[in-house]
Amino acid sequence: MAKQFSSYKNPSLAVDLVVFGYHQQELSVLLLNRKDEPFKNGWTLPGGFLQMEETLLEVCTRILKTKLGIDKLYLEQLYTFDEPGRDPRGRVISVAYYALINPHRLAVVAGSMANDVQWFPVEKVPRLGFDHKRIFGQALQRLKSKILYHPVGFELLDDTFTMTELHELYETILGIAIDRRNFRRKILDSEYIVATGTKREGLKNRHPDLYRFNKHLKQNNFQLNIPS
């Protein structure tokens, strides 16, 4: 590990991941408890160094797979952080990605996750090592703005979901109240989601309609305005 920082003239390149999960009206982020210095026993974003001949996305999937036991999910490059001093070990430039995952799907592999990996509600994120607080904040900001015009939030829900679940997801992520009926009209008009025609099983009388993301949507015509 320390080898990475010995005598190279080029800064090291790392990848940091902000993994968001949503469950029960709570947006959480996946943090890692470090076993090594620096920031030993402190919380940080999961991350890793880039190996030669490896793409940044490959680093992401490698980290997700080996450190978190996660297979595949929505990934998007966020920003590249390069403040000198952001890593006490030396000059490390980090390309940050953010990811969205439905913790339901994660449940299967949850057992394989070391107990040094933990979900934290976004309003209860502890002090983070490196400049990870800043990276996290920027990722959250990006998610908030992206959800307004892109169906990114669906990655956080099951394949099928009720209107109420989608509505609550938006309210939770944005941290605001959104009129239920106006939200419904807007999201249905946009055709971002389609009714499945079925009702959810298991309930006594299976009431609420189920929807799924419309994969065949030609183009983005969704624009949720933030009530001021």
Partner DNA sequence: TTACTTTGCGTCATAATAACGCAAACTAAA
Partner DNA sequence: TTTAGTTTGCGTTATTATGACGCAAAGTAA
**Sequence-ordered list of residues with C-beta below 8 angstroms from that of 95, at least 6 positions apart, any chain:** 13, 14, 15, 16, 56, 77, 79, 80, 81
Which of DNA, its own copies, none binds 179 (CB below 5-8 Å, type-dependent)?
DNA
Between residue 155 and residue 214, which ones bind DNA under the rule CB under 7 A? 162-164, 179-182, 184-186, 199, 203-209
- Answer yes or no whether residue 84 interacts with its own copies by CB under 8 A: yes
Complex with its own copies: residue 95 or 210, whichever CB lies closer: 95
Which of its own copies, DNA, none binds 80 (CB below 5-8 Å, type-dependent)?
its own copies
* Per-residue burial over 3-29, b = 16 or more CB atoms within 10 Å of its CB, e = otherwise: eeeeeeeeebbbbbbbbbbbeeeebbb
Query: How far apart are CB 133 and its own copies at their closest, in Å?
Result: 19
Between residue 87 and residue 126, which ones bind its own copies under the rule CB under 8 A? 91, 93, 95
- Answer yes or no whether residue 137 interacts with its own copies by CB under 8 A: no
- Answer yes or no whether residue 12 interacts with its own copies by CB under 8 A: yes
Residues near its own copies, by CB under 8 A = 4, 8-13, 50, 52-53, 55-56, 77, 79-80, 82-84, 91, 93, 95, 221, 228
Residues near DNA, by CB under 7 A = 162-164, 179-182, 184-186, 199, 203-209, 223, 225, 227
